[in-house]
Amino acid sequence: MPPVPASPVEPTPSATAFLVRQGGAAIEVYLLRRSPASSAFPGFYVFPGGTLEADDRETAFWLDHIDRAIDRPGHPLGPAARQVLPFAVAAVRETFEEAGLLLASKAGETIRPDSLSRNGKSFRRQIANHGLQLSVSKLEPWCRWISPPSMPRRFDTYFFVTAVDSGNECRPDNHETVHGMWIDPASALVENSEGRRPLSPPTLGTLHQLLEYE
């Protein structure tokens, strides 16, 4: 009689934001190479993202620090916007911490990323101290990835897409991520097939989806 399989590991709530911009005749996405010491996809190219932190789940706080009321009809986060909000917050935070792009504003004015610290300080506290609002209206839910039950470490990840202007600069934190680049999906996929650019499975799948868009 075959052994009874162990119960699947509970997936960890996570969020990812992939940044897109127009690059000549094709769109480009921003990819980050994870540190070789990373516990998840070491050395692979991924989109900015990570697991939810306790502060990300403080919905009562974030409802007062987003750029569009959550209960308005047609909210970009969708009909379950209130439930999706912690994932959107995590996506904004990780994009800032890993890629150096701050999706936040004050009185409608864009804030320079270097106004906040990327390491060692509470993101929630910094948002409160500067009176900022997260630009969640710029996030569009894309898909949801849940790791297969057979995986030893599993994630339940909400993917968001956000368009950025060509003038926005991104830079890796040189801690969790060690290299960043803008590249069109087709080129990234070719380089992956040639063994020159390792892509995580969710990144690989998303880039294939983006081939449909000019």
Pairing state between β 155-163 and 12-23: parallel
> Does 1 have pLDDT greater than 50?
no
Question: What are the start-end ranges of the E strands in 117-163?
Answer: 133-134, 140-146, 155-163
- For 36, phi then psi, to 5°, come to -60, -20
Distance of alpha carbon 144 from alpha carbon 142, whole angstroms:
7
Compute how many other C-beta atoms are within 10 angstroms of the C-beta atom of residue 47: 25
Low-confidence winner among 97-106, 113-122, 124-133 (lowest mean pLDDT): 113-122
> Does 40 have pLDDT greater than 70?
yes
Give the helix/strand (H/E) hosting 28: strand 26-34
Under a CB-based contact definition with an 8 Å cutoff, are residues 185 and 19 in contact?
no
DSSP 199: B
Distance of alpha carbon 167 from alpha carbon 152, whole angstroms:
41
> Does 5 have pLDDT greater than 90?
no
User: Amino acid identity of 163?
Assistant: A
Tell which residue, 33, 23, 48, 157, has the closest CA to residue 101.
Answer: 48
What mean pLDDT do residues 140-152 have? 91
Where would I find the H helices in the chain?
59-62, 81-99, 123-130, 185-193, 201-210
State residue 2's pLDDT score: 47
Average pLDDT, the chain: 90
State residue 155's pLDDT score: 93
Using the structure block, give the residue that is written with the tokens 């950025």: 164
Distance of alpha carbon 170 from alpha carbon 205, whole angstroms:
23
Per-residue pLDDT band for 24 (boundaries 50, 70, 90) equals: confident
What mean pLDDT do residues 67-71 have? 88
Question: What is the pTM assigned to this prediction?
Answer: 0.91
